[in-house]
């Protein structure tokens, strides 16, 4: 049956009206995205933090007689004191260390201590390391000439990275404040998450929300929490022993620990260097301290993760590295969590589709 001209006109008007409404809604979403774009990373990180520390918030709020605002305020202060202040000091130390190193190179006052005699007796590479180190300490000018191309190429990148880390510290402060706001409005946030998941996946929304919460807690507490604790104590050891550029090495240890590689990859060369400039007793104590905290993830991670959701190491590795490449230092933390959630939800949806 053919439509009359009036019916065709009515359908055309209806289609145009729908297209205009959809276009207007799409424009509003695009405009909102552009407005919120500078805050998206801190907001996402704030959501992650709020979910991870909600059990602590609930206990603290109960201890304070149900005063949720006071509980969230205390957690903000603790978060800044525990994480922001130490990393701020690390950044300042790193920049100062690079500046001192460059000044000593320019003035010709930089000195490389000779290697310990025991190095020459080490098996396999000990003799080669000893000879190269000894030659560099005797003829420092030749070493500096070799390093000049590297320094001219990569030092600007190092300073740029340091500036990026400073920006990350401010983003983290903002994220902690946002997390506190989410904690105060936790019930409303959970309802919003359920509504969003129900719109996207339907009847499995409740299970996927619970799965997401468990994944966030497991990754943040088990993986990121372990990495931060290891870094703090290994960094303390480097500062106490007086390691030059301890701030830079601390940041490097954090990166290695988050991507689930052993911190000993960074610490072994440091242990070797420490033996060259400090006493035997201090060097041995530093070595024992380093070995204990480098291997502490075997104890800390199960305690922090508890019955959290297990996530393959490859997912954490790819999420951390990819997140850092895409979003900088804050992506190192957020990428592993985001990819872990995506992985667990994809696995869960795949299993349920086969039922």
Which residues are CB-neighbours of 80 under 8 A, at least 6 positions away? 173, 176
Residue 148 lies in a domain: yes
pLDDT at site 166: 62
- pLDDT at 26 > cutoff 80: yes
Residue 155 lies in a domain: yes
Q: What is the token pair recorded at 345?
A: 């939800």
One domain for residues 327 and 194: yes
Instruction: Tell me the mean pLDDT in the region 333-340.
Output: 81
pLDDT at site 343: 83
pLDDT at site 255: 81
Domain boundary among 155, 184, 213: 184
Pick the more confident residue, 20 or 330: 20
- pLDDT at 154 > cutoff 70: no
One domain for residues 162 and 198: no
Nearest to 16 by CA among 27, 28, 24: 24
**What's the pLDDT band for 123 if we cut at 50, 70, 90?**
low
**What's the pLDDT band for 289 if we cut at 50, 70, 90?**
very high
Residue 32 lies in a domain: no
One domain for residues 105 and 170: yes
Domain boundary among 162, 184, 206: 184
Whether 269 and 248 have beta carbons less than 8 Å apart is answered as no
One domain for residues 160 and 218: no
- pLDDT at 89 > cutoff 70: no
One domain for residues 141 and 242: no
Mean pLDDT of the residues in the chain: 75
Residue 94 lies in a domain: yes
One domain for residues 70 and 164: yes
> Which residue range(s) make up the domain with 196?
187-355
- pLDDT at 76 > cutoff 90: no
One domain for residues 259 and 178: no
One domain for residues 147 and 240: no
Lowest mean pLDDT among 17-26, 149-158, 291-300: 149-158
Rounded-to-integer distance, Cα 1 and Cα 318, Å: 58
Rounded-to-integer distance, Cα 167 and Cα 86, Å: 15
Q: What is the token pair recorded at 323?
A: 């997140």
One domain for residues 151 and 82: yes
Residue 4 lies in a domain: no
Residue 181 Ramachandran class (φ > 0 left, ψ -120 to 50 alpha, else beta): alpha
One domain for residues 282 and 208: yes
**What's the pLDDT band for 288 if we cut at 50, 70, 90?**
very high
Pick the more confident residue, 246 or 98: 246
Domain boundary among 140, 166, 184: 184
CA 83: distance to chain centroid? Answer: 12
Lowest mean pLDDT among 157-161, 209-213, 329-333: 157-161
Residue 224 lies in a domain: yes
pLDDT at site 286: 92
Residue 38 lies in a domain: no
**What's the pLDDT band for 305 if we cut at 50, 70, 90?**
low
One domain for residues 126 and 229: no
How many domains, the chain? 2
pLDDT at site 334: 80
- pLDDT at 67 > cutoff 80: yes
- pLDDT at 144 > cutoff 70: no
Instruction: Tell me the mean pLDDT in the region 323-347.
Output: 78
Instruction: Tell me the mean pLDDT in the region 118-127.
Output: 61
- pLDDT at 346 > cutoff 90: no
pLDDT at site 66: 82
One domain for residues 197 and 260: yes
pLDDT at site 285: 92
pLDDT at site 354: 65
């Amino acid at each position: 049956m053919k439509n009359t001209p009036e019916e065709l006109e009515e359908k055309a008007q209806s289609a145009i009206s729908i297209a205009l409404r959809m276009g207007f809604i799409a424009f509003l979403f695009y405009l909102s995205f552009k407005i919120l774009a500078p805050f998206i990373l801190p907001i996402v990180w704030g959501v992650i933090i709020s979910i991870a520390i909600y059990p602590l918030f609930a206990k603290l709020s109960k201890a304070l007689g149900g005063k949720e605002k006071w509980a969230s305020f205390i957690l903000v202060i603790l978060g800044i004191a525990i994480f922001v202040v130490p990393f701020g000091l690390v950044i300042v130390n790193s920049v100062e260390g690079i500046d001192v190193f460059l000044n000593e190179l320019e003035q010709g006052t930089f000195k490389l201590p000779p290697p310990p005699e025991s190095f020459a007796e080490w098996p396999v590479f000990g003799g080669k390391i000893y000879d190269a180190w000894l030659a560099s300490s005797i003829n420092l000018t030749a070493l500096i000439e070799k390093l000049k191309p590297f320094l001219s190429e990569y030092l600007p990148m190092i300073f740029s990275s340091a500036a990026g880390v400073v920006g990350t510290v401010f983003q983290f402060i903002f994220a902690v404040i946002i997390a506190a706001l989410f904690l105060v409005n936790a019930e409303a946030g959970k309802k919003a998450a359920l509504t969003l998941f129900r719109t996207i996946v339907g009847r499995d929304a409740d299970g996927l929300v619970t799965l997401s919460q468990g994944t966030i807690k497991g990754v943040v507490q088990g993986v990121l929490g372990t990495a931060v604790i290891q870094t703090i104590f290994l960094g303390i050891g480097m500062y106490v022993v007086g390691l030059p550029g301890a701030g830079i090495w601390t940041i490097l240890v954090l990166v290695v620990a988050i991507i689930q590689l052993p911190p000993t990859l960074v610490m072994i060369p440091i242990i070797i260097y420490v033996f060259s400039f400090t006493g035997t007793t201090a060097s041995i104590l530093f070595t024992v301290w380093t070995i204990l905290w480098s291997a502490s993830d075997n104890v800390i991670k199960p305690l922090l993760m508890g019955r959290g959701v297990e996530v393959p190491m490859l997912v954490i590795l790819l999420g951390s590295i990819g997140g850092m490449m895409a979003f900088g230092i804050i992506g190192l933390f957020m990428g592993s969590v985001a990819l872990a959630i995506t992985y667990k939800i994809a696995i869960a949806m795949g299993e349920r589709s086969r039922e």
